[in-house]
Structure 1
Amino acid sequence: MYETTLLTPIKLGPLTLENRLVLPPLTRSRSSQPGNIPNALMAEYYRQRSTAGLLITEGIQIEPRGQGYAWTPGLHSQAQIDGWKQVTAAVHGQGKPIFAQLWHVGRVSHTSLQPQGEAPIAPSAIRAENVSVFIETGPGTGALAEPSAPRALSTAEVKDLVNLYAQAARNALEAGFDGVELHCANGYLVNQFISAHSNQRTDEYGGSLHNRLRFLREITQAVADVVGKERVGVRFAPLFSSTDEARVYLGLVEANPHETYIEAIKAMQAIGIGYVSMAEADWDAAPALPDSFRQAAREAFSGLLMYAGKYDGPRAAKVIEAGWADLVGFGRWFIANPDLPARLRNGWPLEPLDAASMYGGTAVGYTDYPVYTG
């Protein structure tokens, strides 16, 4: 079954992916301190999961103000670039491509994570609700905290951020990445510009949907100019409804999510990027993404479409066979099953995920998950 869907090769611009399974961005908080530097343990983690057709890194902050959680890696210092070279070399040694996910959390941060303890930055000075950040409380220890109140960016500062994204893309190339993905989902900075809930600006970056999408268009074009448009992906997280208000993506439910995200996808089509990824809501009783949205996304975008969420093999095969998806991201399953393609191909049992070791720590729950031996 899967040999005709998930396990077939596909082209992503100049790259040939061995299969349709993707390691999606997964925050694991294992970077070395001080400096949020990628390390040999991280290189081994990604090497093990190079059974995927495409690997996308965990979110990587593009500048010091982009950090919202302790121990997450960056891509703005030379030490960080050099650290990522270990990771890309390990993945390339397995013959697979890897993209860097460029991340800026915006208002979803805490003053203790910000340079000189300053307020986080945001489109508007509106505090993030229904979310926690993770701050360091001591060497190797941390705790959840509420995000600090942000300050609004000036128009000039927004334009400076576009340049920072372009520089991060240049850093990604220096580190050996094959492309980049822009994190435009889950209530972080780009999503904050898109959402009318968090963007109450009166300049060219606020107001109408066209203006709220301007930051997205500008950073995507800037990054595409650096790495090549076919080597760029963008991740969105369209959420249509929820009865669980505490789990709404940081409060950023759109009045008309279909219109908002189809327009965003059309903007990506105009630039000509390689893929668009949709991160579906994946908590218990989460609202399903409507098939009408999937169909509209397919009609609006000629590149590859990726979906990630609570997918198993049959569900992933179904969306590919329906023509809605080209790639499917398997997050939790790839964490616990580094040999996931072989397990799906052969019907081998899947290892369960150890949720307690998801964030921070050592090799335990990170690089010690076994491959199947029968």
Structure 2
Amino acid sequence: MEGQREQIHLLTPYKMGNFQLAHRIVLAPMTRFRSYNSVPQPHAILYYSQRTTNGGFLIAEATAISQAAQGFKDTPGIWSKEHIYAWKPIVEAVHAKGGIFFCQLWHPGMGSDQSFESNIGHPPVSSTDKPCSPFIDTTTGEVLPEFLPPQRLKPEEITEIVNDFRGAARNAMEAGFDGVEIHGANGYLIDQFLKDQVNDRSDEYGGSLENRCKFALQVVEAVAKEIGADRVGIRLSPFSNYMDSADSDPEALGLYMAKSLNKYGILYCHMIESRAEDTQDETDQWSDGLVPMKQAFNGTFIAAGGYDRENGNNAIAQERAELIGYGRLFLANPDLPKRFELDAPLNKYHRDTFYTGDPIVGYTDYPFIKDVTNENEYHEERLTFDV
């Protein structure tokens, strides 16, 4: 049995720059809609601390870089002193358990729900002025939500947003985070510049692959100069088509970005598997689409998208990635590294509670296991936390 445990490559230590990680299982960033009025709440202390292990790496949910970037109700911000102070006890709780915690910096661009009061008067912005297709619930057919036509950003406005990313990174460090992840994926603003099926510009930010990547790389450069490249990562999804943001040659896009990032010496590149586009659940499908990007990038490579214990373990063993990001499984199993270690049964996640805004249900109420006497004996436990 001990020999079998040693083959769990996901549980082997890894040195990510200056950070010594105890295992390769990463808490991926997940939007949770529980930061009321954009302010992180005390219940997030429990949520993140539940998922923290000594030497574990966590990436916080998408966090708006400015008030104009607050694209959805009750998503957190990091543009003000109030946000900094609200994040501090959450970060401290993660650090108290030995975790490494990065803040994901986010501008949704045209993928913004403009129906809530705090964003009235701030039309969405993008690389284009073409409206985004609405989200449609495939079960009910309900439109969720309808996006307003965006304003096409002018070059000088792009420079202002680059500076917003820079300021947000500085604020994240003041809040105590160990670093930041730039959100360049999932059809949000940076992705809207990267992809040729949505970016219809004819200026220096459109047309060629180099031009479409310019905004993303300007953000990387600005943030790296502000807080140090060794504290910066970026998330990319070259194969995705969210928010109408698809590309005619995703392999070339991903490879170009991976190579270009080396110039700035950032800590990691976090990419989403192409297979994640085809399933809402974990899958045993395999894709080697990220391998060229992984081989081209000099820093730590994180892969995410539909991974379970087996294929995540194989990805590490076959050097397809250094770390694996887990979202839904980590949400439903706050003790996911322990469950993977014991090959224990997993809690099922409840999709209908992902975005309800409830401070407990679907958030901090997923049960833990406890190894009391041997690997075959599991007991549920729930953490308590004084706030």
TM-score normalized with structure 2 length: 0.87
Specify the alignment match of 2:123 in structure 1: 119
Distance 1:50 1:285, change over 3 A: closer
Report the 3-state secondary structure (helix = DSSP H, G, I; strand = E; otherwise coil) of the residue aligned with 2:11.
Answer: coil
1:348-367 per-position Cα deviation (integer Å, ceiling 9, x unaligned): 11111121211111211111
**What is the 5 A alignment of 1:157-236?**
157-236=157-236
Q: Distance in 1 between matches of 2:114 and 2:310?
A: 44
Specify the alignment match of 1:294 in structure 2: 290
Specify the alignment match of 2:381 in structure 1: none
1:250-280 per-position Cα deviation (integer Å, ceiling 9, x unaligned): 2222111110110011111121111111123
Q: Which residue of 6, 15, 20 maps to 2:10?
A: 6
1:16-44 per-position Cα deviation (integer Å, ceiling 9, x unaligned): 111100000001111123xx111110111
Specify the alignment match of 2:260 in structure 1: 267
Per-residue deviation at 1:321?
1.1
Q: Distance in 2 between matches of 1:37 and 1:63?
A: 13
Distance 1:207 1:44, change over 3 A: same
**Amino-acid identity (%):** 40
Residues 60 and 72, structure 1, Cα contact 8 Å, conserved in 2: yes
Aligned length: 355
Per-residue deviation at 1:111?
3.1
Q: Which residue of 356, 365, 368 maps to 2:365?
A: 368
Q: Distance in 2 between matches of 1:188 and 1:289?
A: 26
Tell me which amino acid in the other structure corresponds to 1:282: A
Specify the alignment match of 1:63 in structure 2: 66
Unaligned runs of 5+ in 1: 134-142, 241-247
Q: Distance in 2 between matches of 1:181 and 1:2?
A: 32
Report the 3-state secondary structure (helix = DSSP H, G, I; strand = E; otherwise coil) of the residue aligned with 1:254.
Answer: coil
Per-residue deviation at 1:298?
2.5
Specify the alignment match of 2:40 in structure 1: 38
Specify the alignment match of 1:339 in structure 2: 335
Specify the alignment match of 1:315 in structure 2: 311
Q: Distance in 2 between matches of 1:295 and 1:199?
A: 26
Residues 122 and 189, structure 1, Cα contact 8 Å, conserved in 2: yes
Q: Distance in 2 between matches of 1:327 and 1:148?
A: 37
Specify the alignment match of 2:246 in structure 1: 253
1:40-70 per-position Cα deviation (integer Å, ceiling 9, x unaligned): 1011100000027200000001011212221
Q: Distance in 2 between matches of 1:66 and 1:285?
A: 28
Q: Distance in 2 between matches of 1:252 and 1:161?
A: 19
Residues 132 and 147, structure 1, Cα contact 8 Å, conserved in 2: no
Tell me which amino acid in the other structure corresponds to 1:227: I
Tell me which amino acid in the other structure corresponds to 1:299: Q
